[in-house]
Structure 1
């Protein structure tokens, strides 16, 4: 038996200004989230991106083809109600940030990590006011509490829409610093993603590509780039 999918019931969509932002109307009926909350978006640009996804649906509604709608739903139905918990969870990445755990050998990998990752840590020290200290090996070594608190406050300052995007920027890259770097345009998103994959790229150079791993990484990259676009549309 095939899975039932909701059918398209509207002929056209419209972006409408409303209290607190913008919403989408389908033949005059306002779109709501899966939790039945009002779909109120912070910017017209985001609302237009969501409206285009609804317009692109044909006979059946396929959520897999609606990433901006899904992200907006997550911001409203989930992140908005769990803001402090999500912000704390992401802030915790700072104490075990990908960029801080360095190889002890071979020298070529040590040098590549230094060349690629040190500039991001330098950027964070200057722009975020937070200097994280790299260590050798994988054993956890805590960062300075005052530095982590400074980063935590900046994460908590994000609204629900930016925090929803920031969640993916951090969790997909494995780095709080790279999440901030992407959000604040330190470098192009593709470049930041490449930097986050340094260890995986090194392993592939030594042992060859694994087809399944390559496909999984490509899906994560698409999600990372989407998160960056969603973040930008939130402001």
Structure 2
């Protein structure tokens, strides 16, 4: 992405309404995605968030500090042209959802999984109309086809900006249910992220924290929280 190597040349970044949405402008010139499409987003809130990232750049453009820009680029350059494939990949998580695969020991872990994960599955049954069943162990067992179809329709109905955010919510957590729970505001993002890490947190309690693994988890947590913020901006 050669554009990222450019030095800052603009004085101000703004979001401006256009017939197609809201374009991000640098001194009146439209920002382009890595694939050279005009960076046009669906809402003013998203446009202003992206413009603020460009305004915050100093000598060099640093994409690491520009999560809204990166997510919008992904939505336009990747998800929009592969919508069906991305949606189906995410829908497939429902047949092997993290929340459905339970430990067979020790009893304390079994009880914690039941206490923390069962309410999410109950919520999905009520709010999404799809009941996913639990299994003991890691061997795959197919879920009810009607439930999977219901969830799949919901995923495919997302527009490409929401789907880009939803991709991260699901893939980072390993759970289609938690992805929907974040999108539908069932719980706050940090709570849902900790739910996805139940097994890891249990291991930390038993054996102590691995600092490297913890640091990596924090990076993923921040990405999960950002994905929720991006989804909300849609």
Class of the TM-score when normalised by the shorter of the 2 chains: over 0.9
Aligned to 1:35: 35
Aligned to 1:105: 105
CA distance in 1, matches of 2:171, 2:119: 20
CA distance in 2, matches of 1:14, 1:225: 24
- Compute the RMSD of aligned alpha carbons: 0.8
Q: How far 1:5 sits from its partner (Å)?
A: 2.5
Q: How far 1:28 sits from its partner (Å)?
A: 1.3
Cα deviations by residue, 1:181-231 (Å, 9 ceiling, x for unpaired): 001000111100011100000111111111110000000000000000000
CA distance in 2, matches of 1:197, 1:22: 37
Q: How many residues align?
A: 231
Q: How far 1:14 sits from its partner (Å)?
A: 1.7
CA distance in 2, matches of 1:164, 1:24: 19
Please give the TM-score of this superposition, normalised by the length of structure 2: 0.97
List, as ranges, runs of 4+ consecutive aligned residues in structure 1 with deviation greater than 3 Å: none
Q: Does 1:121 align with 2:121?
A: yes
Q: How far 1:133 sits from its partner (Å)?
A: 0.3
Aligned to 2:22: 22
Gaps of 5+ in 1: none
Aligned to 1:228: 228
Q: How far 1:20 sits from its partner (Å)?
A: 2.0
Does the residue aligned with 2:32 lie in a helix, a strand or coil? coil
Does the residue aligned with 2:15 lie in a helix, a strand or coil? strand
CA distance in 2, matches of 1:14, 1:173: 33
Q: How far 1:38 sits from its partner (Å)?
A: 1.2
Q: How far 1:19 sits from its partner (Å)?
A: 1.4
Gaps of 5+ in 2: none
Aligned to 1:151: 151
Please give the TM-score of this superposition, normalised by the length of structure 1: 0.97
Q: Does 1:140 align with 2:108?
A: no
CA distance in 1, matches of 2:194, 2:205: 14
Q: How far 1:149 sits from its partner (Å)?
A: 0.5
